[in-house]
Structure 1
Amino acid sequence: MPKKQIVFIEPQATVNSYRIARSLKLTKRYETILFCFAKVDKDFYNKAYDRIFVLELDHKFRLNNLIALFKKLLSKEKKYFFREMGKIEPYLFQISGPDLFTLISLFHLKENIPKIYYSNDTWGIAKRWLLFKKFGFKGEFQRICEKICFRKVDGVLNKSSIKQFELLSYKVNVPKIALPPSPFDEFIFYSKNKNREINLVHGGNPNPTIKKRINFLEIIKGVTSQKIYFHTYGPCVVEKDDMIYRREAKKNKYYCIHEKVSPYKLNEEMSKYSFGSLLDFWDETEFKKNPAMVNTDMGSKMINYLEAGLPMIVSDQMEYITEIVKKYGLGLVINIKDLKNLREIIEKQDYVQLKKNIKKFQEEFKMSRVIKEIENFYERVATNSIKKFKRNIQNI
């Protein structure tokens, strides 16, 4: 029986799509292909995709790179990339966004092929003025791209809560599901923490400073002042903030900045710590103005912590995540006022039981189990899409 072909189109290759593509490949029922608009670590991503096509385009539109961008758009490389994309006839396309280049791709794909949109973030649920305040014209542009994508596809896979669609100002009239935080089997570790010291890890680079968000450096200081180690990986995306974090690490022995590592290596390293940190707090006044995005978001770090076998400490403002943490006993939920007593709160926990709960969750929700749900969703979307296309042909 021939394998079903699934094509992933992404602005830049993501670990979330890697988990799905690799799990599909492991069933031996699928061939997976990636089209990507940024440089790809092929040593890593070749394990998930049978073929990879790359067209490197800068996503930051600045005057000094516009000439290079136009040259790239007129190049043979660009023509080959979109020609290959346009002639392919897979079982279905999965497009990640919102993003200008993936949106453009939608118009190059054959109409009769089912298309699924993978929503990394749902920009339309945030208030327009707030997006403009934080991201300028990019915020409004992302909202527009997202809305067009929702209208042109046949189904939606959502990384976060399904409630996000109820918060949009328009309806998304296609099948949609929200994926549970599913650890990928090959990335799963069991906690190796044997250290008597308490070690918290923020599974990525330190947060940049954003107005009205509680300063992340102050959170780090509040944690480490209680003789709790705090670890981050990679440089802060804002260079000025990165220098501040590095200065703090030099004088604060409890704050450790590590080099950025591959997703697999990151999980392995994190498995030796005590807790995963989701300590992201917003000023209460600002949070009340627009709670939707924080309330309904599913941070990718949560999946990393589950794969690393780590119980987690979560901000109570992250409502969707806290519901899961409380339901399955995956860690503890705190508010900003609890931060000053964090060590005392941690020491009262039954840590052995928390680790048992994590292990149980890993087994119950690992990707090799969840992939069947995704396959069933693909089948449902593909069937509906083909019927719709045939009806449209008959009505011409």
Structure 2
Amino acid sequence: MNKKKQIVVIGSGIPDMISKMAIGLRKKGHETIFISLVKNQETDFLKKAYDRIISFDVKFYKINLFNLPRIFLYGIKKSFKILKLFSEIKKLRPFVVISVATPNWLCFLARKYFKNYPFVYFPFDIRSFSYKDRKEALSFGIPNFELNAEKYCFKNADGIIHKGGEDELNFLNDQVLGEKIKIKCPAINIFPYCLRELMVAVNGKNKLSRENKEIHIVYVGHIPLDETWSRGMEAITKQGIYLHLYGKTANLTKEEDSKRVEGLYPSNNKFLCIHEQVPQENLSKEVSKYDYGIYGYKIIGDKRDETDTGNKLASYLEAGLPIITFDNSGAANNILKKYNVAVIIKRSQLRNLKKVLKKNLSKNLMKNIPRAREELGIEKNIPRLENFFEQVAIYKKRKGN
């Protein structure tokens, strides 16, 4: 991909990992365009990632029969702007179109609209991994059309990007999707790579633990509210370990995200510290004062843990923090073990985490982080993506629409 190409990304609340990818592509001279369904919060970061942002700025509604009248009225109100934006979209000539799920129905519509262009499906979260079967998915409020859209995208994409292990797509859940799906198009798995501009110095001088001699752990990202996570939080803080939570939930403002967790975690627990949402550009500096980043803290694991990775892994490395993961986090651990930057524990050890960490001092792992950041830098891995896009374009040409 020596010639400048137009790369179009479509999504609702776009994950920071994908914006980092866009920054890397833009550095290589490609034109990056983001088509956003909703109003995004991290405007400054997005402007660094994309040459152009086409945003519908729609209010996010969960699609169900109750909300259909609201969605209809809202569409009428926004009709002039929508028509104007579609006129702008029609002028695009993308080399590839990358549509990010969830929601999958948006990817389904993107595939239909851009049917003449190479279409890359990026299921940032593969819904079918989260449930035992379709009945369970429906019981959690996931509509049939959303599950069918995921199946459609896997079957009809010209290329697939996924963030789990290399073999992740071999384990798609046919009990949810309704059939066994064999991926025929080009596919690439990418790690949540680090961005050089976000890296801070690796040292222990600014640590809070230097002041109070206690261990400080940080968790960034979506804060789940179910019991398995609450019990994990209790197991950590009961040992006198400080757990700092920086919530960030897609499609929610900083205020909405804070309100979401308000009252659901005990306010009298001095070892639990819930912080306001921090922009991606400032996050690594903010959390570098802690001793470890934790990948998750739920007391009971599930199938999704084995295949998943997340941008928080890169955020911790950018902040110079060793990472605590569970032994069933297969895809993440395969990478982290290679560079010796993680403390890998069994879930049963969460209740004895303080003893485990005293045997795995953060300073002994921190010295390995510079090499890991270099190898896992987005700039170093952009050529893999460029080569993948070329393969997708060839596949599309051979296959047709």
Task: Please confirm whether the aligned pair reaches a TM-score higher than 0.5, indicating the same fold.
Answer: yes
1:200–1:273 CA contact under 8 A, matched in 2: yes
Q: Which consecutive residues of structure 2, in runs of 5 or more, have no partner in the other structure?
A: 173-179, 250-256
| Deviation for aligned residue 1:282 | 5.3
Is the counterpart of residue 274 in structure 1 residue 274 in structure 2?
Answer: no
Q: Which residue of 1 aligns with 2:344?
A: 333
Partner Cα distance (1:114, 1:242) in 2: 44
CA separation of 1:143/1:205 partners in 2, compared to 1, >3 Å: closer, same or farther? Answer: closer
Matched with 1:69 is 71
After the TM superposition, which of the residue ranges 231-240 and 18-27 deviates more from structure 2?
Answer: 231-240
Of residues 245, 257, 280, the one that matches 1:263 is 280
Q: Contact 1:204–1:233 at 8 Å: present in 2 too?
A: yes
Give yes or no for contact 1:6–1:94 (8 Å, CA) kept in 2.
Answer: yes
Q: What SS class does the counterpart of residue 367 from structure 2 fall into?
A: helix
Is 1:128 aligned to residue 137 of structure 2? no
Contact 1:204 1:234 in 2 (8 A): yes
1:295 to 306, 319, 325: 306
Cα pair 1:233 1:260 within 8 Å, conserved: yes
Contact (CA 8 Å) 1:191, 1:272: kept in 2 or not?
no
Q: How many residues align?
A: 374
After superposition, the Cα gap between the structure-2 partners of 1:314 and 1:2, relative to the gap in structure 1 and judged at 3 Å, is closer
SS in 2 for 1:54: strand
What corresponds to 2:392 in structure 1?
A: 381
Cα deviation, residue 32, structure 1: 0.7
1:268, 1:141 → 2: CA distance? 42
Shift of 1:328: 2.1
Give the aligned partner of residue 62 of structure 2: 60
How much has 1:292 moved relative to structure 2?
Answer: 3.1
Q: Secondary structure at the match of 1:171?
A: coil
| Residue 141 (structure 1) shift | 3.6
Point out the more displaced range, 229-238 or 329-338: 229-238
**Offset of residue 178 of structure 1:** 0.5
* Aligned twin of 1:37: 37
Match of 1:166 in 2: 170
Distance 1:269 1:94 in 2: 31
**Structure-2-length-normalised TM-score:** 0.85
Q: How does 1:1-396 map to 2 (within 5 A)?
A: 3-27=4-28, 29-41=29-41, 42-55=43-56, 56-61=58-63, 65-74=67-76, 75-99=79-103, 100-111=105-116, 113-125=117-129, 126-129=131-134, 131-132=136-137, 135-138=140-143, 140-168=144-172, 169-194=180-205, 195-196=209-210, 197-209=214-226, 214=228, 216-234=229-247, 242-245=262-265, 248=266, 250-281=267-298, 283=300, 291-389=302-400
Aligned AA (2:392): V
The structure-2 alpha-carbon separation of the partners of 1:121 and 1:241, relative to structure 1 and needing over 3 Å to count, comes to same
Against the structure 1 CA distance between its residues 37 and 356, is the aligned structure 2 distance closer, same or farther, given a 3 Å change threshold?
Answer: same
CA contact (8 A) 1:89 1:110 kept: no
Q: Which deviates further from its counterpart, 179-188 or 128-137?
A: 128-137
SS at match of 1:343: helix
CA distance in 1, matches of 2:51, 2:122: 20
Alignment partner, residue 176 of structure 2: none
Aligned to 2:175: none
Q: Could you list the per-position Cα deviations for residues 217-251 of structure 1 after superposition, in whole angstroms to 9, with x for gaps in the alignment? A: 33222222222211001488696753131xx2x32
Structure 1 residues 241 and 23: alpha-carbon distance in aligned structure 2, compared to 1, 3 A threshold: closer
Using the TM superposition, give the Cα deviation of residue 268 of structure 1 relative to its aligned residue in structure 2, in angstroms.
1.4
Q: Which moved further from structure 2: 272-281 or 373-382? A: 272-281
CA distance in 2, matches of 1:124, 1:7: 26
Letter in 2 for 1:132: A
Distance 1:134 1:301 in 2: 29
Moved over 4 A (4+): 62-65, 235-241
CA distance in 2, matches of 1:147, 1:167: 13
Identity between Structure 1 and Structure 2 (%): 31
Cα deviation for residue 191 of structure 1 reads: 3.5
- Alpha carbons of structure 1 residues 50 and 279: separation in structure 2 relative to 1, 3 Å: closer
CA distance in 2, matches of 1:46, 1:341: 44
TM-score by length of structure 1 reads 0.86
Distance 1:12 1:341 in 2: 37
Rounded to whole Å, the distance in 2 between the matches of 1:64 and 1:350 is 53
Preserved CA contact (<8 Å) 1:117 1:153: yes
1:98–1:145 contact (8 Å) kept in structure 2: no
Aligned partner letter, 2:132: K
Structure-2 change in CA distance of 1:203 and 1:30 (3 Å): same
Other-structure match for 2:177: none
CA distance, structure 2, for counterparts of residue 378 and residue 218 of structure 1: 43
**Which amino acid is the alignment partner of residue 310 of structure 2?**
G
Deviation at 1:48?
Answer: 0.8
AA of the residue aligned to 1:127: K
Q: Which amino acid aligns with 1:84?
A: E
CA drift of 1:272 comes to 1.3
CA distance 1:205–1:123, shift in 2 (3 Å): closer
Cα deviation, 1:355-382, whole Å, max 9, x if unaligned, reads 1222210011100101111111111211
Counterpart AA for 2:241: I
What code does the residue aligned with 2:268 have? K
